[in-house]
């Protein structure tokens, strides 16, 4: 909404608070207003004030969010959507056409897989799974001349696999494809995929960006002007945009993202250490553990290891379900990235849509979104749930 060039070399926390908006010249308001308007008065036919004519095309509250998202990812262009899947759908239609091919993670978020498998496939866009951990496997899954996108989550959902963004970008670019990185789990604070060679960043801003489980939203960030033009055109043409109040909530969340991610990471590290020594647990999956296969890569490309922890239990699916029902501090629910701790059973909940496919997740798996409560209370809650379900 104004010149923010003085923030180009500012720290992350400073950009999160100051990018995208300067105090209102009329009132001095330091926070962007919620522009609850659908249309804008024009100064003569076609005489637009700052380019605003209709709020699907642009809204000042959304512009503030989009500029902030771009600044936090080190990109030139940000786009805010009504949900993460609205962002993904717009991206697919902006960059792919019938006959194109996409390489997906073999443990992708269930909603992303469903979008490709049930919606994009019907439109003529094909997809193949490959493990993000295996650069050679991703390379082998690429069909030269057909593969338009290599799609990566890192860490993945829910198995927290780590992909080497720099290496995957090189493989994609060698084949004339673009690298898309879903940065939802790491957040803009912990990981900067554009700087590592990615072409497009995807976020469900519902999660860590919003951070308070009170808004659903999505985002795309790119640096390339030609890509931006295509995405912007499709955002307006398809219309799955973030409304002004939703944009305002995500903006408010982003201001404390750095603080929250530090606490999420602190608490998740303690949870992972606790679970690692618990007799009922057969495996703990957390990139911060030295025995995680992606630990070295995560250490190189992430600031810290994040707030998501998955674990498997010796008692199988029955015990996994019982643990999900027994916790009190950890709320049983889908989604993640909020201030409160959540627990879920991916096989029956978030990833039920991939049952019976290559993306099926283990039945004894429990996924935690470790919140920012008092760490001792989290550990006591998990200990009680594990002990009573053995």
- Residue numbers annotated as active site: 56, 109, 182, 207
- Where does the chain have alpha helices with state H? 12-18, 60-73, 84-95, 110-114, 135-141, 165-174, 187-190, 225-238, 244-254, 257-276, 295-301, 316-326, 375-388
**Tokens representing 256?**
């404390």
Spatial contact of 10 and 18, defined as CB atoms under 8 Å apart: yes
Residues 6+ apart with CB under 8 A from 270: 375, 378, 379
β-bridge pairing 218-222 and 200-204:
antiparallel
DSSP string, 160-218: -----HHHHHHHHHHTT-EEEEE-TTTHHHHB-GGGGT-SEEEEETTTTTT-SSS---E
B/e letters for 315-354, b = 16+ CB within 10 Å, e = fewer, are beeebbbbbbebbebbeebeebbbbebbbbbbbeebbeeb
Q: What's the rounded Cα separation, in Å, for the pair 35 and 64?
A: 11
Location of structure tokens 């759908």: 89
Q: What's the rounded Cα separation, in Å, for the pair 261 and 323?
A: 26
DSSP string, 71-91: HHHT-SEEEEESSHHHHHHHH
Spatial contact of 382 and 312, defined as CB atoms under 8 Å apart: no
Location of structure tokens 């105090």: 23
Instruction: Identify the DSSP state of 237.
Output: H
- Length of the chain equals 390
What is the strand order of the sheet 147-153 is part of?
77-81, 218-222, 200-204, 178-182, 147-153, 101-105, 126-130
Spatial contact of 192 and 74, defined as CB atoms under 8 Å apart: yes
Q: CA torsion angle for 146, 147, 148, 153 (degrees, to 10)?
A: 170
């Amino acid at each position: 909404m104004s010149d923010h060039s003085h923030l180009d070399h500012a720290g992350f926390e400073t950009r999160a608070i100051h990018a995208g908006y300067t105090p209102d010249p009329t009132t001095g308001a330091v926070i962007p207003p919620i522009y609850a308007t659908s249309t804008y008065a024009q100064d003569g036919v076609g005489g637009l004030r700052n380019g605003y004519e209709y709020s699907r095309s642009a809204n000042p509250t959304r512009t503030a969010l989009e500029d902030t998202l771009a600044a936090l990812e080190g990109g030139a262009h940000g786009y805010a959507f009504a949900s993460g899947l609205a962002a993904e759908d717009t991206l697919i239609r902006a960059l792919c056409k019938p006959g194109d091919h996409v390489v997906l993670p073999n443990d992708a978020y269930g909603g992303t897989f469903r979008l490709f498998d049930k919606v994009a496939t019907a439109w003529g866009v094909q997809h193949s799974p490959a493990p993000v951990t295996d650069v050679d496997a991703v390379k082998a899954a690429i069909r030269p001349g057909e593969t338009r996108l290599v799609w990566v989550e890192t860490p993945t959902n829910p198995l927290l696999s780590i992909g080497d963004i720099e290496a995957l970008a090189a493989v994609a670019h060698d084949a004339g494809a673009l690298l898309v990185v879903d940065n939802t789990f790491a957040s803009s604070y912990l990981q900067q995929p554009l700087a590592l060679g990615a072409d497009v960043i995807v976020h469900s801003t519902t999660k860590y960006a919003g951070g308070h489980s009170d808004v659903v939203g999505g985002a795309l960030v790119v640096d390339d002007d030609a890509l931006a033009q295509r995405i912007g055109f499709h955002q307006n043409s398809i219309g799955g945009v973030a409304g002004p109040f939703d944009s305002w909530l995500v903006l408010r969340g982003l201001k404390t993202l750095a603080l929250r991610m530090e606490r999420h990471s602190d608490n998740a590290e303690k949870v992972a250490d606790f679970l690692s020594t618990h007799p009922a647990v057969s495996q703990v999956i957390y990139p911060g553990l030295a025995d995680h296969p992606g630990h070295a890569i995560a250490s190189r490309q992430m600031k810290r290891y994040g707030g998501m922890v998955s674990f498997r239990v010796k008692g199988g699916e029955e015990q996994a379900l019982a643990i999900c029902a027994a916790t009190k501090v950890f709320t049983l629910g889908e989604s993640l990235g909020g201030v409160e701790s959540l627990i879920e059973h991916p096989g029956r909940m978030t990833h039920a849509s991939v049952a019976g496919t290559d993306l099926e997740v283990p039945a004894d798996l429990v996924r935690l979104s470790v919140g920012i409560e008092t760490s001792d209370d989290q550990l006591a809650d998990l200990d009680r749930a594990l002990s009573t379900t053995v």
